[in-house]
Amino acid sequence: MTSLLAFDPSSLPTETFDFLIIGSGVAGLSCAIELEAHGSVAVLTKEAMSEGSTQWAQGGIAAVLSPEPLDSSALHQSDTMQAGAGLCDREAVDVLVNEGPHRVRQLIARGAHFDTEPSGELKLTREAAHRARRIVHAQGDSTGREVQRSLSHSALASGGIAVHENVVTVDFLISEDDSGARRCCGVLALDSQTGKLRIFRAKATIAATGGIGAIYKVTTNPPVLTGDGMAMAFRAGAALMDMEFVQFHPTAFAKGPNNPKFLISEAVRGEGATLLNNKGERFMARYHPDAELAPRDVVSRAIAQEILETGADYVTLDLTANTAQEIAARFPKIYATCVAYGIDPAREPIPVSPAEHYMMGGIRTDLNGATNVVGLLACGECACTGVHGANRLASNSMLEGLVFGIRTVRAAMALKNSSCPPSRETGNGKRQTGVARSDDELASARVRVQELMWQYAGLVRGGEGLQRALRELDELQTRFGNPAPTRAAIELCNMICVAQLVTRAALERTESRGAHFRTDFPNLDDADWQRHIVLRQSDGELQIESAPAG
């Protein structure tokens, strides 16, 4: 491992815990709450506890909560596998759909309030590529906010979880014993408020750092999602998998270049909204028999094609068959935000276009969150169990965070009685002090990463463009890869690293599958490519391997 920063472990303030969790979203907090009874727990989060992506989730949580024949775990499994385009790992999907209902009920028991029918039963909706109504939601379209509220409350009320806000995790600390065996023993972190480095040591270190939205020019993610956990894991020697599969949500608000690209939930189409091109024509039936309820990658590319063919900046999503009262009741947050930006969905269609939304790939783990690096675990969006395959089924993301966040407790508990070697982190005092860059230089480089990824490694890709992006990213790595100890510089390094991995994996996969579409290889190729691409670093060199799917 090569740490981003030069440091001497013996000179830094150190805190020690049994379990250390990086990230405070649905996966990280679910794990923390379960671990609290089994030892000392700390949660590190880059900003305030609620500033990750969980609170922005609108659509809901997919789980089988209706009896047969209305729904079944077999049907949920089939829908998930179909959306994953032949690359889902069946055992992971089985875990997701069979353990999911219990985890949703557990969340309710802990205080989460989901919308209900007058009878008191949960109100369930349907989203694209689901064949049953199985999506629970809160306050119409504020599910993520309610889940974040309830988990944050539980974590803080426990009294046994130490929450450290405004702490930027820099690197995982990898120690070696006398035999050369390596394991993760905690993290090096930067306190954003004091500017000082700190060490947090733990027997089990759990990455729950979310996605990579900030590496793209247009995203529904908050700007804190700079791929930190994935980049740190790669530097520590962990394997990453399926990095080419980046999901673009088809319908982000698209009025004007300066307005936010907030998400218009898939549930809006699930409740009957239609997509229109700039001629006022419905077009989705030309692209897929399920029309507006086709899988996300199909809808996203169809919209992109309509925009290209018509010369418009967006298509529109038509909800005008509903009254303002009906829309505000079902989608209060979406309705209020649209009105605030000058669009009344009851009177005119909503302008929408695709935006980066979710990362299917990430740190490769087993079904209990363990990586190939002893002591380092991962869960949630930053992890990859193979459950999503090449394209995530709508509303399976928070379910994954709940299910696998809690399953990660098993692997963490197995490490509790192990010991870390004395402080012999390979993280390394020989490195030169980072080069200080101006705020303008860092901001300009960040924008360039986003532009490169949007243009060449986004919704539609080609070999020539991917190669160009990789060359520029390598140049950016050379220039900015030795950062000063500041949040902006560290985030930029992580963004460049993750962008390189996404681009390299996209260049490697010479076919089109799920969310990965190559103009120069437009067809599915099961004979050669029904397998996962695995990337890891060994002795400073990128190693590209494959793993069977299924």
How many H-runs (helices) and E-runs (strands) does the chain carry? 14, 19
Instruction: Bin 488: left if φ > 0, else alpha if -120 < ψ < 50, else beta.
Output: alpha
3-state secondary structure 468-482: HHHHHHHHHHHHHCC
Active site residue 103: no
CA distance 99 to 405: 12
| Cβ 93 vs Cβ 80: under 8 Å | yes
CB atoms within 10 A of CB 181: 10
Per the structure block, which two tokens stand in for 424?
């012999």
| Cβ 444 vs Cβ 489: under 8 Å | no
CA distance 326 to 472: 49
Cβ density class 466-504: b for 16+ within 10 Å, e for less: beebbebbeebeeebbbbebbbbbbbbbbbbbbbbbbbb
| Cβ 420 vs Cβ 185: under 8 Å | yes
Q: Which residues contact 447 (CB under 8 A, 6 or more apart)?
A: 217
CB atoms within 10 A of CB 542: 12
Which residue spans within 98-210 are E strands per DSSP?
124-125, 135-136, 161-164, 167-176, 182-191, 197-207
| Cβ 391 vs Cβ 81: under 8 Å | no
CA distance 151 to 52: 13
CA distance 149 to 513: 36
| Cβ 416 vs Cβ 38: under 8 Å | yes
CA distance 353 to 215: 18
Residue of 149, 183, 296, 437 marked active site: 296
CA distance 489 to 480: 8
CB atoms within 10 A of CB 385: 28
**Cis omega before residue 277 (within 30°)?**
no
Per the structure block, which two tokens stand in for 434?
């980072």
| Cβ 12 vs Cβ 189: under 8 Å | no
**Cis omega before residue 428 (within 30°)?**
yes
CB atoms within 10 A of CB 374: 17
CA distance 222 to 301: 23
Q: What torsion, rounded to 10 degrees, do the Cα atoms 25, 249, 352, 52 define?
A: 10
Per the structure block, which two tokens stand in for 165?
């806000």
Catalytic residues: 296
